[in-house]
Amino acid sequence: MSYPKKVTICDVGTRDGFQIEHKFIPTATKIEVINAIIAAGVRKLEVTSFVSPRAVPQMADAAEVYAGIDKSRGAELVCLIPNRRGAEDAAKAGVKTALLFLSASETHNLTNVNRSVQASLDGLKDVMAVANGAGMAVHGAIATSFGCPFEGDVPAERVADLAVRMRDMGMHHVSLGDTTGMATPPIVKRVVEAIRRRAPALELTLHFHNTRGLGLVNVMAGLEMGVTHFEGSIGGLGGCPFAPGATGNICTEDCVNLMHELGIETGIDLDALCAVARRVEQFLGRPLPGQVMRAGPRSKLHTIAAAKRAVG
């Protein structure tokens, strides 16, 4: 089995993770976390969302957050944009990369944004015109790519069809979201293969959730298919909207640890990233699901004197 030599891991924690936090996280704290993630070597982040503050109050400070981010290291700063208004606000804020999304499942799309998938596709063109007019690069995201909590399996051809349409609109990068953690390795292979057949040059990102413990197993399936872009969330921030208390996004540090153990370069300093995860855990005041942030990498050895006896 040969894996890619190098991958890009995008951290989505300050958008996908923070957005479900009820208590408002101060703008300065958000900026501090984003800049610390960048300082640890992460070169792509989904930083915030230009969504209506009534819909998601936690993202009301998107423009201020964007303004405070350290741009000197050349990290790609992706902003989620749900509609035309969001694109106009993002343009004013100087955003360079927009992420536009829809769901592969008709029922999930209706529940999430109250319109059909076709209406969403038409809407994307409008948002894209504003984003392109402002000189932004536009990436696409397809939610429920590996299964829908209402409809069950989503046909791989349907996901491929949407990916092709996004490419034809001018998006050179499409992220496949496992919104409720329903992906399994065979499904990942089927979906990636279906897209590769029809859009071999389209750059794919895999966005897995660890809801059922298969997050990193699915990352392995992606690596085996030669995928080189993955998304994770610092400390494993985020949850599953349909299963209260269940784990959401895979954890960025755990994913980085896996890559390094496979000999795959990420450019990320794992210790520095774990320190950021612990800082996030501290200000949120509850344990996060990340594992390497607690155990440390396997190269971290312990002294016998400090060890407790353990069997098993």
Residues that bind Zn ion (CB under 5 A): 16, 249
Element (H, E) at 62: helix 62-68
1 to 203, 208, 225: CA distances (angstroms) = 21, 22, 10
Are 76 and 42 in contact by the 8 Å Cβ rule? The answer is no
CB 209 to Zn ion: min, Å: 6
CB 12 to Zn ion: min, Å: 6
| Spatial distance between the Cα atoms of 158 and 312, rounded to a whole number of angstroms | 47
CB-nearer residue toward Zn ion: 46 or 130: 46
Neighbouring CB atoms inside 10 A of 20's CB total: 14
Element (H, E) at 79: strand 76-80
CB 38 to Zn ion: min, Å: 20
- Of 205, 165, 171, nearest to 188 (Cα)? 205
3 state DSSP class of 73: coil
Please tell me which residue in 10, 148, 240, 274 is annotated as part of the active site: 240
Answer yes or no: 240 catalytic.
yes
CB-nearer residue toward Zn ion: 50 or 101: 101
CB 65 to Zn ion: min, Å: 19
| Spatial distance between the Cα atoms of 231 and 227, rounded to a whole number of angstroms | 12
Are 104 and 159 in contact by the 8 Å Cβ rule? The answer is yes
Length of the chain: 312
CB 303 to Zn ion: min, Å: 39
CB-nearer residue toward Zn ion: 59 or 91: 59
CA 32, 34, 38, 40 torsion: positive or negative? positive
CB-nearer residue toward Zn ion: 112 or 249: 249
CB-nearer residue toward Zn ion: 91 or 102: 102
What residues act catalytically? 240
